[in-house]
Amino acid sequence: MTTEPIRVLVVEDHNVVRQGLVALLNVADGLEVVAEAADGVEAITQFRKHKPDITLIDLRLPRMSGVDVIERIRMEKPQARFIVLTTYDGDEDIYRALKAGARAYLLKGMTSEDLIGTIRTVHAGKSYIPPAIAERLAERMGSQDLTPREFDVLEQIVHGKSNREIAAELEVSEATVKTHINSLLGKLGVTDRTQAATAALQRGIIPIESLRKPKS
């Protein structure tokens, strides 16, 4: 009796990378790429159309992020199985992806054997978190969450705004801004604004892509 192949949807916005993944998976024993997508919105469309066993997805995608795609699809189909494949290893990126429901989190430097093995593991109903990723996740779980207002202040700091500019943007006093900054510095484990901005980008708290978008 022939076993049905594991049906995979590949979601990756870089054409060469996506084509390479599709070629790699299609020659692997027991795997079949049934669809591919170059952005988040297309990913949802292709998932609904093909109902893959496994969706291999990047985090940073045009039109809708990988985390948003996972959340949206799992609202419709809670048993959907996702594997994140990305270059981003920030603890906040990892935390958000796994919280959304990803079953595995891989970095693009892994071997083809690891990728194929992870697809089979997740298809079997298990999860897979590499040791280095698990360590970063443990660090994130041990830290305090920023409040929504602290996040807003941190975002403004990342964009180079002064306390006065932040106060005007958020319609609060400069004293209130300073209070939020002192609190978020403690939560991030840093001592100044520059370190806070660096930590925010390295950990994925503030997406680096947001720096390309003009802020008012």
Q: What is the pLDDT of residues 63-110, one digit of tens each?
A: 999 999 999 999 999 999 999 999 888 888 888 899 999 999 999 888
- Region 39-51: mean pLDDT is 97
The pLDDT tens digits for 175-185 are 999 999 999 89
Starting from the edge strand earliest in sequence, which strands make up the sheet with 104-107, in order? 31-37, 6-11, 54-57, 81-86, 104-107
Rounded-to-integer distance, Cα 43 and Cα 36, Å: 7
CATH of domain 6-140: 3.40.50.2300
Quick one: tokens of 194?
């520059």
Q: Kindly indicate the confidence band of residue 137, based on its pLDDT and cuts at 50, 70 and 90.
A: confident
CATH of domain 148-212: 1.10.10.10
Which of 161, 155, 147, 153 has the alpha carbon at shortest distance from 210? 155
Sequence spans of domains, the chain: 6-140, 148-212
- Torsion, CA 180, CA 181, CA 183, CA 185, rounded to 10: 160
Q: Kindly indicate the confidence band of residue 216, based on its pLDDT and cuts at 50, 70 and 90.
A: very low
pLDDT at 143: 67
Instruction: Name the pTM for this structure.
Output: 0.75
The pLDDT tens digits for 193-214 are 998 898 888 888 887 766 665 4
